[in-house]
Amino acid sequence: MYFEKTNGFPKDFLWGAASAAYQVEGAWDEDGKGVSVWDTFVRIPGKTFKATTGDKAVDHYHRYKEDVRLMAEMGLKTYRFSIAWTRIIPDGNGEINEKGLAFYSNLIDECLKYGIVPMVTVYHWDLPQALQDQYGGWENRRIVDDFVRYAKTLFENFGDRVKYWIIINEQNVFTGHGWLMASHPPGKAGDYKTFYQVNHHAFMAHAKSVLALKELWPDAKVGSSFAYGPSYAVTNKPEDAMAKYDYDDLQNFYWMDIYAYGRYPRAAVAYQLSRGIAPVMEEGDEEILKEAASKVDFMGVNYYQTTSVEYNPVDGVDGMGKMNTTGKKGTTEISGVAGMYRNPKNTNLPTTDWDWTIDPMGLRYACREITSRYDLPIVISENGLGAFDKVEDGQIHDPYRIAYLKEHVKELRKACDDGCRVLAYCTWSWSDVLSWLNGYQKRYGFVYIDREEDENSGTLNRIPKDSYYWYKTVIASNGAEGLDD
């Protein structure tokens, strides 16, 4: 759509930033916290860049007051953070850890003291290792009840102060990397049957948690966040257009249709049945999924890049392809499913050092597609640029990050003009964090954290970057300044 003038952002728009417990907190074994699958996985040689761990991360656990104060000085309207299951229930299904509850209660109160809306993610991948050992974690249906008990513990303790809840972060990523690519826990490759069964368990955990929240706090706003990469057909050939449809049903709509409609795409189910990889569902699951979908308040979107799709012959590439985890451009391999689609590089777009396409208009495209297909409000729960940042005379000049975010926010503003109901925009991330597979060299934040690639160097001092002050201007003007200059 074209509009001569913009209406700007809604008056109550939530300008925010995000983080995840494992990537920022550190204190991995303090105050009764249990061991997570990530605490274990990173100790396997070769799994992370230079064997980096989240043992110390950026020490948010001890420095959260300083961090929230810096957020307030920036003018942040909302802070999206996750809670570590292992801090609340160290072994996943046993006794509640009061010290864990106290930490997050204090963090929530600290945000509210400065007028920052806490947006809480229930699960951002750090499954208790004890549940993996007890019964295989997400592979076992028992995980649903343990997850819901954990979620209800959060709702009961924090629901009086937290109004925005994201149940699961990037389910498509932690399951894909965990059971197809072997790059996340539990480190399995090419196990499509288990992959789809794990996803069904996660969908049921999401659905039952949504219903539990609404029973306790009917006015709470809830959804889950999906790592959404809209797809473009490479050509106008019919076979490429059909390949795009195949890709969307299996890589995008498969998750969003459950969140919004409570059902799987029919074509995806037909494909699963043909290969014998369809998940086993229990009686009543369909009704629970549909009931939860009717109570979801928004679609959470983690947007970083778009994907190109073309027809892939039966004898073509078949697999996820190697990821770039070093920052050396051009090392990502093409992925695809033989007989359906493959994902070549988009030659029309620039890329980051990690080979992620830079496509600001793709964010608007994502919002338009969600609005058209699901008619749900949208929370942009992540969007940001990972880059190599350098300190020069005590300062961090990151014009590349400002340019990236500026163009994305401008497209988001156009999406609002298009009629998309966008509630919030949370950048990834507020400060530099541990990038799961890329260590500490891949920096995303508005605030530089003084730590190097190894585990023990650096002061962990916080230094606001140029982008910190740019975003402060954008927030203060509700997007009226800082975008068009």
Catalytic site positions: 170, 382
Sheet containing 231-233, strands listed edge to edge, beginning at the edge strand earlier in sequence:
231-233, 307-311, 341-342, 336-337
* Residues comprising the chain, all counted: 485
Give Cα 448 to chain centroid, integer Å.
Answer: 21
Q: Do residues 360 and 303 lie in contact, with contact meaning Cβ atoms separated by under 8 Å?
A: no
Pick from 34, 139, 135: nearest CA to 94: 34
Pick from 470, 466, 366, 472: nearest CA to 411: 366
- Per-residue DSSP letter, 236: S
CA 33, CA 120: separation in Å to the nearest integer?
19
Helix/strand/coil for 265: coil
Alpha helices in 85-220 (DSSP H): 85-88, 98-113, 129-135, 142-158, 171-179, 192-216
What's the Cα-to-Cα distance from 175 to each of 55, 89, 170, 188, rounded to whole Å?
23, 22, 9, 10
Q: Kindly state the greatest CA–CA separation across the chain.
A: 64
- Per-residue DSSP letter, 252: T
DSSP codes joined into one string, 54-102: SSSTT-HHHHHHHHHHHHHHHT-SEEEEE--HHHHSTTSSS---HHHHH
Q: Do residues 208 and 148 lie in contact, with contact meaning Cβ atoms separated by under 8 Å?
A: yes
